[in-house]
Chain A
Amino acid sequence: MQFVRVHLQLAAVAVSLVAPGTALAASAENGKTAYVKNGCWQCHGYEGQGSVTTSAGRVIAGTPLPADAFSAYVRRPSGAMPPFSAAILPDADLADIYAYLEARPKPKSSKDIPLLSGQ
């Protein structure tokens, strides 16, 4: 909850960081390339599934944050994540990454996975 709260507060900043209309043109396909090239996968996994050891267990697949809050956090993270400035990660790439994460397939229920429901 704290994670969400902090970034809603930063949403105003984010609006100015992501150019208007950028999100509309965002490409999930390009986003996959940008996600890998910029090292997002290192802590969040290739599918944004997260890890308890590298991202405090937070899942960014499906992005529970709105785009502006997401961008604000990437630019000025409050936790252990290092900041990605626009000089490192251009707005267009960031928007593509958001599109990629939004496009991740919704996970099945663990109850529908025999290896998990049986444990």
Chain B
Amino acid sequence: MGAALAVETLKLRKATAARVAAVAVVVVAPAMSAGFLAAARSDIDGPLAAKIAPMLQGTGWTGLMGFVGQILSIGMLLAVGVVVSWSFGREFTDGTFGSLFALPTPRRDVATAKIVVLVHWGLDVAMAAVVLTLVLGMATGLGLPDTAAWSGAGKALVIAVLSVLLTIPLAWFASVFRGYLPAIAALLGTIMVTQVVTIAGAGAWFPYSAPGMWSGMGGLELAETVTPVQLLLAVPVAVVGAAATVWWWDRAEVV
């Protein structure tokens, strides 16, 4: 497993897709959140403040961390989802899957290493985005982080982690359909289904809806109805997705 982890870490560290996705989340999410909040504060009665108002859960640190939590709920799903799809699917589109046969490193270890490295990378990206949000909050005049800031940061981090876990089944899609585009299509389809399920009122029991609802995307009242059990459904989704992917890699043939 050590060799597979080392190789997959190197591949992800050097990958343009992972770099672009990381920058998109780490820079864009905090910058948008701090920027919108600062704009809303400086333009209290203006049109921009009126547009942003429905997305804000409060003022100061509460508003900033709530806003970044909402962006991370969808941003992490998209960014990490694309990288998970690429990491698994590229072995088929690049034709390297066959090179992973007849090795002392079993393919199940390669698949497991990919998942471990991707989840670790996702957590690093989430942590960096939250830390940068705290820094930008201080830079835009919110002062030192208070209890509300730390509480909001923790919630944003949990939302981001849940979103990372929810991307793991895409590894199975990319493997079974032997390419990253089918997995990216599945990702986009999941986001559309999430919208429909949420509108239909069954949102929080759909694992892909729960983090976004809890972040306040549907309003504060709806966010308060989301239970820990509903949020933690992301864990079995990730476990089943990972197990199915590793099982498939262990038995797949070259076509």
* A and B co-occur in one complex: no
Chain B residues with a Cβ under 8 A of chain A = none
